[in-house]
Amino acid sequence: MDNPTGTTVVHRKGAFTPRRSWRTWLIGRPLRTADAADQTIGKKIGLAVFASDALSSTAYATQEILIILAAAGSIAFGYSFPISIAIVILLAIVTISYEQTIHAYPGGGGAYIVARDNINDLAAQIAGAALLTDYILTVAVSVSSGVAQINSAFPATYPHRVIISISLVFIIMLINLRGVKESGAIFAIPTYFFISIMFLTLGIGILKYFTGTLGTVPDPPMMEVHKTIAVISPFLILHAFSSGTAALTGVEAISNGITAFKEPRSRNAGITLIWMAMILGSLFVGITFLSGQVHGIPSETETIISQLARTIFSGRGVIYLAVIAGTTIILIMAANTSFADFPRLSALLAGDRYLPGQMTFRGSRLVFSWGIIALAFFASLLILLFNASVTALIPLYAIGVFLSFTLSQAGMAHRWWKTGQLNANQQIHERGSTLTYDSRWRLKMIINSFGAVCTAVVMMVFAVTKFRDGAYIVLVVIPAIVLLFQYIHRHYKHLAANLSLDDYGAPPGIKRHRVILPVSGVHRGSLAALQYALELSNDITAVHISIDPDETKKVQQKWETWGQGVRLVVLDSPYRLLVEPLLEYIEDIDKDRQPNEIITIVVPQFIPQRWSHNLLHTQAALFLRMALINKPGIVITDVTYQVE
């Protein structure tokens, strides 16, 4: 092989092409690293991939407001529309703030990167933990809510909601393992179908309202009130407001996934964010307004969307079913936003050594496969634990979102202040972006500061009003995740320090090499291992565990013929144990081991032609390796013998 550089390093181009397998059929053919640029998406597909979470929240945000107000009776439902207006104003503030983030951080990363570069590493870890928690909850809530729509149309499915929900999570996982571009193309049509059918529903509903033909919900479900209060208090209004802020979950998704967009990334991502906010705000206000006019009732057995649709379309006809189908699909697709962002954020955290390094590996379809699988597992676990109940899951929801909102906007405010301290031609390169002077830094700092204050207030309101309902769980989980981050980070730092070549000098030489060869019998496999051992050292000891005296006698006789003069030590095992006597012998040898002496355990292992045949054997080599893997100065080598 030619080596024109004259160094010891030879570069060889890989010609290997992965073979077709069951995975090819399941998730598609493997993609080359060079294909990554072709996997980026435009604004229309980006809306389907990253906005489905935010858009889907319109299906349950109004209902969650009404569930809280129901404690004061149906008279309190009149407050739902003003509350929705306040939430839309908050949406506008958050959207403007994140639009600035998108242009300042074209490499993506959202709240984690912003907090890391502008506050400190602890703030970044908190933001990362909050977002990871939110993404898991997004999948659990959106899929459970989608299944609730199915339950509304087909009540017989209600007892099977957990199995249906987990099955849907698994299907979404498989679709996302096929790649961002392909999953986006699959989900684009349902997204635009939902937007179209909802605007059609609201348009007809508003037309009927102004013509006086709207009416009220026929045969409304029974209102479920878990506790009642005598008056409409400010605490109740704030409680309902905090429940409705679930509509804002997913707004940050685009800022985390900027790298998935085609160039110019920031511009395309920013336009998609504005599209999403306008559609989300319009649908949310429209649904809340019309729900009040038709006297919708919050219920676990029938959703507000179902009541609204059958009132507007006078029954459960084709258009009603289309509304339910579109809502169900968008709710299930909302999980896709998390499947797009959770793996990316996990990869960023893993790159900074706060999560296992496997999270940075891209699978055969250029997606972070480990992150996708982990998200599916944890979301399914939540669905199982909370019985696929949206009302039970919602209290755990938006607090993590607003915590990340607050840290992101506070970090951006500090970033604009830093840019204001620079000279006109000065640049500072940070890990996530490049700082340059911005003449409008004061205005941008005020916008982000105001956004941070607003989201911080909402977060506090949410934490107080939802504390007893389950928000305390998130307030415990997020610090626990941060502690886990720090534990993983310390491990990687300790490992790096132990592996560092700084001040290492020359590696210590091996003064003596002793080989121990366990033999259960004298056969082709053990002789192959003996031949390998003879290539390593002249100091070889074969060891046989004696359980059956007759069998041991046969081994001794064969060893005299085939052992090539290597000594054989027979260890009696009166309790018929195989591994333990051998381990005791190795430990005795290890006690007398000299400095820079290596002990190698050469383990004969025959490999059956069929993997299922391994179940018919003791797998002593595996147990021996597990027992000795943590022993310093001991090397375990398997010498396999293929059995045809």
Render pLDDT for 179-189 as a digit per residue (tens, 0 to 9). 766 666 777 88
pLDDT for 237 equals 87
pLDDT for 23 equals 60
Q: Is the pLDDT of residue 15 over 70?
A: no
Class of domain 42-493: mainly alpha
DSSP category for residue 358: G
Residue 410's pLDDT band (cuts 50, 70, 90)? very high
Q: Is the pLDDT of residue 5 over 60?
A: no
Please state, in angstroms and rounded to a whole number, the distance separating the CA atoms of residues 194 and 328: 9
Q: Is the pLDDT of residue 21 over 90?
A: no
Number of Cβ within a 10 Å radius of residue 66: 26
Are the beta carbons of 109 and 461 closer than 8 angstroms? Answer: no
- Could you report the per-residue pLDDT of 201-218, keeping only the tens digit for each? 999 999 999 999 998 988
Q: Look at 272 and 465; give whichever has higher pLDDT.
A: 272
Q: How far is CA 179 from the centre of its chain?
A: 15
Residue 438 CB-density burial (10 A; 0-12 exposed, 13-18 middle, 19+ buried): middle
What is the average pLDDT score of the chain?
84
Alpha helices in 386-509 (DSSP H): 390-393, 399-420, 441-465, 472-499
Please state, in angstroms and rounded to a whole number, the distance separating the CA atoms of residues 516 and 518: 6
Residue spans per domain, the chain: 42-493, 512-642
**Backbone phi, then psi, for 594, in 5-degree steps?**
-80, 160
Which one, of 563, 583, 582, 644, lies nearest residue 610 by Cα? 644
Query: Collapsing DSSP states into helix, strand and coil, what is residue 83?
Result: helix
Residue 258's pLDDT band (cuts 50, 70, 90)? confident
Q: Is the pLDDT of residue 385 over 80?
A: yes
Please state, in angstroms and rounded to a whole number, the distance separating the CA atoms of residues 442 and 444: 5
Q: Is 10 left (phi over 0), alpha (psi -120 to 50) or beta?
A: beta
Lowest mean pLDDT among 49-58, 85-94, 275-284: 49-58
pLDDT for 532 equals 92
Q: Is the pLDDT of residue 378 over 70?
A: yes
Please state, in angstroms and rounded to a whole number, the distance separating the CA atoms of residues 517 and 276: 67
The crossing angle, in degrees rounded to 10, of helices 61-69 and 234-244 is 160
- Please name every residue paired with 434 in a beta bridge, in sequence order, or none if there are none: 429
CATH code at 512-642: 3.40.50.620
**Backbone phi, then psi, for 218, in 5-degree steps?**
-75, 140
Alpha helices in 294-368 (DSSP H): 304-312, 318-351
- Token pair 């079913």 in the structure block, residue: 321
Alpha helices in 105-233 (DSSP H): 110-118, 121-153, 161-177, 180-211
Q: Is 388 left (phi over 0), alpha (psi -120 to 50) or beta?
A: left
- Could you report the per-residue pLDDT of 292-334, keeping only the tens digit for each? 999 888 887 788 899 999 999 988 889 999 998 888 888 777 7
Which one, of 237, 170, 240, lies nearest residue 394 by Cα? 240
Whether cis (ω within 30° of 0) applies to the bond prior to 264 is: yes
Q: How far is CA 484 from the centre of its chain?
A: 15
Pairing of strands 634-642, 597-607: parallel
Residue 371's pLDDT band (cuts 50, 70, 90)? very high
Q: Is the pLDDT of residue 255 over 90?
A: no
What is the arithmetic mean of pLDDT over 526-555? 91
What whole-number percentage of the chain has pLDDT above 70? Answer: 88
pTM of the model: 0.77
